[in-house]
Structure 1
Amino acid sequence: MHLLLVEDDAMLAEAICDGARQNAWRIDHVSDAAAANLALIDHAYTAVLLDVGLPRESGLTVLKTMRNRYDATPVLFLTARAELSERIRGLDAGADDYIVKPFQFDELWARLRSVIRRTQGRVVPVLSYRDIVLDRSKRSVTRNGERVALSAHEYRTLLALLERPGHAVTREHLQDVVYGGSSTIESNTIAVFIHQLRRKLGDDVIVTVHGHGYMVGESQS
């Protein structure tokens, strides 16, 4: 089992990670929404332990981003708010369960095991265009059934384009997806990834929409 913990409280995160490893579970830890979004693109996790009260962007934003891209990975919310309205918000946004801080670790692991049991067998949709198939659960891309080796940045770029077929995706949005909002990248970096994707997948797969960005498929506007 491979878990992702999204928690900005360093002491709590350390305790959760120690407990997970004692249960012989692999666990990755990030402390903010941007890092969580990148980790979720790059890895196929068994489940996510997601703090609601993250700095800058909330855990709800991370969850909505996951569900909008058809990522069905089970999510257990960690929340310091015991109000019923807050729990309902999380469940309505797509969380599978929640636990209120402070909590007993035995209850945390029991709820996590329950969430995973309930969600086993979920179908995670693949994204495709022509003979190109992106399987999120395996983080793989194939063309004509043959595996295509992509770098992490190329994979993230293609995923962002396949999520909105027929619609122009701006360079700014692609930069956010690929780099998690970093402002220190070169202006032509996305163009380099697009060039590499065209070389590997075909020149006509990704269309340049002048003045807007890039697009996969025919325009739906």
Structure 2
Amino acid sequence: MASEDNILQTNALAVREYIHSQPQDALLNNPWAVYQALDLYSRTARLMNFKQAKLNIAQDALTTMETAPKVILEFGTYIGCSAIAWAAILRDLHGPFAEGLHVYTFEVSETVAEVARDLIRVAGVEDIVHVIVGPASESLKQLVEEGKVKVKGVDMAFFDHWEKFYLSDLQLCEDLGLFHEGSRVIADNTDIPGAPDYLEYLRAGGRGGEGSVRYETESFQSEPVSERRKPNMVEVSTVVAAP
């Protein structure tokens, strides 16, 4: 695990160096330009990232919500690429001066979190995106205790961290009462490496029983399947009941 962490940190630092080597006039305070630069770099450097084809699926899910989203939880920050995109989507939906727009994103590495914060500052969305260091479950509980995240106050939760925690973190959101009817839940990499317990849970509609959160869910293929298998699926779920 230590060596993997070192690789992730080294790659994150390389991303920051790349972004700061690009013409800054095109990037400063332009979240979509920063996202596109990160997406391009991730393709050439084979860096894990929430790439454009997958973002298109998620963006459609957000922009078609009956009430435009304002508050997003993201489990897995890494370099902040998807968090920057969420902030750009929220601004596009509500306008550049809208209040109450928040993306709370969780990262376990302080080194990687600092890279993400730097890129978020370049994009000019540090007023929207809040990078929180530590285990996601504990960080989320603290946000609720502090009143920053409110009951029925989460419009979308995005899972892109360790797949083995997808289900437990989803259920934590339920237990804290964070979802409302219409909330979206989006998960990456549900095919490779895969999150079978998470998918089984959503396809069953949730826990079941009176007073439980209920879901409808759909799997989307982001790109044509090739001989060289790579993560391709995005799971988009909608809360249809939130007692």
Larger radius of gyration: 1
Q: TM-score, normalised by structure 1?
A: 0.32
RCO comparison, higher one (Cα < 8 Å, 6+)? 2
Q: Relative to total residues, which structure has the larger helix share, 1 or 2? A: 2
